[in-house]
Amino acid sequence: MPDASREIISIQPDGNRIVLPAQSGTDTRSIRIELRGTLRCAYDGLEYDAVYRYRPGAPVREAVEHATLAWQPRAPQLVEAEFEAHRYVFWMPAFAAGTSADVRVDVDRLVDEFLIPPSEVRLSLSGRFEATVDPPVEAAPWPAAFAAAPALALAAGVGWVIQRRMRAAALDFDLEAQVARIAGKAEAARAAVTRADGRLAPIRARLRAVEAGAETLARQIQQLRGARRLHSEQALQRDAAALEQRLQASGLSEEEALTLADKRRSLDALASLERSEQRLAARLNRLEAVVESALASLQTVRAGAMEPPVRESLCRSLDAEVRALREARGGAGVSG
């Protein structure tokens, strides 16, 4: 049977504010909000969930974080995420008594991005979000609330991701999760090297270097993504195509010709950024595979199924990755 204490609210893509259940008579209560659903935008052909926007059918790694929703009086904390199901759980912290929280689809953000009237943005949007709001509860300090919620996705490093995002929301969720996986596997590999394994001790330092390199690599990828997000590639392509059609049909004025040249240069720059991001993402994937292989080898040695002389091959493999990381940092075109 459905829980009668939970309220389900529909959030339509019309920009209207939806008031969430009010906090009653105290400033020590907070609410949990679960959001599901997606919006489709006919203008750019993308889909939007509560956190990300993405092209239908594209790989998950290509989804980019986007502020689809506007919250008042403050943005809630993201505590649980399931991208495939487009399900996200937020924790709205306590605020002053008598104040109500509200949320709306941020039509204004899309107006600023597309440079079209709000009415056209609304007409281009379809779909909706469904918010399931738990009744207000006594607020606990965030770390305690997190530790006490067994439903939170602690597996595969997601708990590490959320806590890290609390400290510094710097990386996209998928990058945080991958860095977390690498860190977990590296830590397990170091744990597999006991003090009695003197010949394997050098591997521990190499694993730390690789782990640190993975985070640096992820931040480079984030920088490239951030640079790409400053531009709408679809809008650039559309505008350039329109100018090229006019060029072929009736020619362009000098100012229009300069505009077309600028848009072509912008598209070339975006393509270069995308190639760099793909190259670094492939290196990060390779790094995770190498750490996983090192962990498997060390576990095999520890179980007595392989002789300890694997030290040399593991050291060579990890050293090669450290060198490759240095080369990747040098050729990525972004600062470390």
Reported as a single tens digit per residue, the pLDDT across 129-141 is 999 887 654 433 3
pLDDT at site 145: 36
pLDDT at site 226: 82
pLDDT at site 153: 34
Range name among 92-106, 162-176, 204-218 with the lowest pLDDT average:
162-176
pLDDT at site 203: 75
d(CA 184, CA 95): 36
pLDDT at site 5: 54
Banded model confidence at residue 248, pLDDT cuts 50, 70, 90: confident
pTM of the model: 0.49
Q: What is each CA distance from 73 to 13, 20, 227, in whole angstroms? A: 20, 11, 29
User: What one-character-per-residue DSSP string does 36-59 give?
Assistant: EEEEEETTT--EE-SSEEE-TTS-
Banded model confidence at residue 196, pLDDT cuts 50, 70, 90: low
Tokens matching residue 74: 């403050």
127 forms beta bridges with: 39
DSSP E strand boundaries for the chain: 7-11, 18-19, 29-41, 47-48, 52-54, 64-65, 69-72, 77-82, 87-92, 102-105, 125-133, 137-138
Banded model confidence at residue 123, pLDDT cuts 50, 70, 90: very high
Average pLDDT on 56-60 reads 79
Name the 3-class secondary structure at 122. helix
CB count within 10 Å of CB 31 equals 22
Q: What is the pLDDT of residues 256-301, one digit of tens each?
A: 889 889 989 989 988 999 999 999 999 889 888 888 888 887 777 6
Dihedral sign, Cα of residue 258, residue 259, residue 260, residue 266: positive
Name the 3-class secondary structure at 333. coil
Banded model confidence at residue 160, pLDDT cuts 50, 70, 90: very low
Pairwise pLDDT comparison (92 vs 182), residue with the higher score: 182
Banded model confidence at residue 105, pLDDT cuts 50, 70, 90: very high
Name the 3-class secondary structure at 19. strand
Which helix (H) or strand (E) element contains residue 312? Answer: helix 310-331
Banded model confidence at residue 234, pLDDT cuts 50, 70, 90: confident
pLDDT at site 128: 94
Banded model confidence at residue 114, pLDDT cuts 50, 70, 90: confident
Answer yes or no: are the C-beta atoms of 136 and 21 closer than 8 Å.
yes
Mean pLDDT of the chain: 75
Q: What is each CA distance from 97 to 28, 32, 61, in whole angstroms? A: 8, 17, 41
Pick the closest to residue 30 from 69, 71, 80, 77 (CA basis): 77
HSE on the CB side for 111, CA within 13 Å?
13
Banded model confidence at residue 40, pLDDT cuts 50, 70, 90: very high
